[in-house]
């Protein structure tokens, strides 16, 4: 037995995962050294984008070119390409999970998502099976991630409250709903119709449920955002009308009496327009990183 295989169990090669983890971590620190004017959050999200793009391309190639097809041939042994894809993704989640724990940035749903992802990816490699369906799931989950990160970068650079921000928002919402909910429902249904086992079905169901939790949070965000925008517009119209009708002796109301879209308003302990769909509620600045308690303090 070779020295490298001494640290391997079926598809799980500890040295390979450790190498990938070291690569992601090194990339992050190199970005921090290269551009220290940006925050740690900025560089972590840059790594996230690179991971999402790379893993999505690998998943597409594995699913559509190499195969097998997850809607008809799930549950088989892992192929070499599936092993590389799952291993690289597992190493990234270990890096990101460690980053989140260090900066204490995540809520319970995102912590559960990370833990479930780490356990599922590890189990796929340990068991030597489930690569077909898991790689397809990885591709569907990560393909929308660059849009999520783009809206955050737009906000940090001051371009979010433009038409570009609305385009990115709706592109993310619609693509997330179509891929994670519609295609995800079809994949889970077909998975139950195939000759798959209990553990594969349990893992797929848990990932599907978390997808719905995220999607309901997204819908809640959309309703609040556009309800607030509508209220602001109605308020400005009412203020203008009141100003015109009270010019004789009365104190005129102005549009400043109403909450404006460009003024931060606290909703549920989170600064209105600074809400982040990934639940990573961090306010970024060039001089440091402040976790979610800063939001609560700013609203008090």
pLDDT in tens, 54-68: 999 999 999 999 989
Q: CA Rg, the chain, in Å? A: 23
Mean pLDDT of the chain: 81
21 vs 279: CA distance, rounded Å:
24
Tell me what pLDDT residue 251 has. Answer: 40
pLDDT band at 298 (very low <50, low <70, confident <90, very high): very low
pLDDT over 70 at 161, yes or no: yes
Give 190: exposed, middle or buried? Use CB within 10 Å, 0-12, 13-18, 19+.
middle
- Per DSSP, the three-state class of 291 is coil
101 vs 208: CA distance, rounded Å:
24
Task: Label each residue of 126-186 as H, E or C.
Answer: HHCECHHHHHHHHHHHHCCHHHHHHHHHHHHCCCCCCHHHHHHHHHHHHHHHHHHHHHHHH
Cβ-proximal residues to 142 (8 Å cutoff; 6+ apart), any chain: 51, 52, 55, 56, 59, 89
Name beta bridge partners: 284: 289
């Amino acid at each position: 037995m070779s020295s490298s295989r001494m640290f391997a169990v079926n598809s799980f090669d500890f040295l390979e995962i450790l190498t990938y983890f070291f690569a992601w971590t090194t990339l992050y620190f190199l970005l921090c050294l290269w551009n220290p004017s940006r925050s740690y959050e900025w560089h972590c999200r840059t790594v996230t984008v690179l991971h999402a793009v790379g893993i999505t391309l690998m998943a597409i190639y594995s699913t559509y070119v190499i195969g097998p097809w997850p809607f008809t041939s799930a549950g088989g042994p892992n192929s070499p390409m599936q092993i590389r894809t799952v291993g690289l993704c597992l190493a990234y989640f270990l890096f990101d999970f460690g980053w989140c724990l260090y900066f204490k940035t995540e809520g319970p749903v995102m912590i559960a998502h990370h833990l479930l992802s780490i356990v599922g990816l590890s189990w796929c490699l340990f068991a030597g099976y489930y690569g077909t369906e898991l790689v397809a799931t990885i591709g569907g989950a990560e393909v929308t991630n660059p849009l999520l990160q783009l809206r955050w970068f737009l906000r940090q650079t001051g371009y979010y409250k433009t038409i570009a921000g609305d385009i990115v928002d709706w592109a993310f919402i619609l693509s997330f709903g179509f891929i994670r909910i519609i295609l995800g429902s079809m994949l889970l249904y077909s998975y139950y119709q195939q000759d798959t086992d209990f553990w594969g079905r349990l893992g797929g169901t848990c990932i599907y449920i978390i997808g719905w939790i995220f999607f309901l949070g997204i819908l809640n965000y959309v309703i609040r955002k556009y309800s607030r925008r509508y209220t602001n517009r109605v308020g400005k119209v009412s203020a203008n009308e009141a100003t015109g009708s009270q010019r004789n002796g009365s104190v005129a109301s102005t549009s400043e009496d109403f909450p404006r879209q460009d003024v931060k308003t606290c909703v549920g302990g989170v600064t209105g327009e600074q809400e982040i769909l990934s639940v990573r509620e961090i306010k970024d600045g060039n001089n440091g990183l402040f976790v979610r308690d800063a939001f609560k303090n700013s609203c008090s």
